[in-house]
Amino acid sequence: MNIVLDTNVLVFALMKLSGITARAAEMAASGDHTIYLSEAIIDEYARVLRRAKFSFKESDINDLLSLVADNGIVISGFHTDEPFIDESDRKFYEVAVTSRAYLITGNKRHFPSDPRVISPREFSNMARLP
């Protein structure tokens, strides 16, 4: 399955929570799916994961970013004129549309209504997580 991961999915993965978002992040990074990225997405991952409020270990951040990069394909997204609540989310949607991938996010309301924008729970159901 082709996927794009919103940053909030990676945040939950590093929090090591046992919820559906953390499990979906593990499955997404397992190598069974192709992760599509852009340079802007990679930059956001690195910047957000290093925010002091999260207090993540640098080694954990680097390991997660390496895992995503090793299983990812970097592309350039096309531009869409769709309205966004948060303009910083546009890059994720554009890469998802360009790569014909599902966009996994905990904030579906931030994105246009599109069947390719799915929640971690929807992804887990599609991917048949245990």
First to last CA, the chain: 17
Considering 24-28, 32-36, 113-117, the range whose residues carry the highest mean pLDDT is 113-117
Q: Average the pLDDT over 21-45 and give the result.
A: 84
**Contact status, residue 93 vs residue 103, Cβ threshold 8 Å:** yes
Q: Which amino acid is at 55?
A: S
DSSP 8-state assignment for residue 111: S
Domain that holds residue 62: 2-127
Q: Average the pLDDT over 52-76 and give the result.
A: 90
pLDDT at 30 over 80: no
3-state secondary structure of 63: helix
For residue range 110-121, what is the model confidence (pLDDT) as tens digits? 999 999 999 988
Given the DSSP bridges, would you call strands 102-104 and 72-74 parallel, antiparallel or unpaired?
unpaired
> What's residue 17's pLDDT?
64
Domain total of the chain: 1
pLDDT at 129 over 60: no
CATH assignment of the domain containing 83? 3.40.50.1010
pLDDT at 130 over 60: no
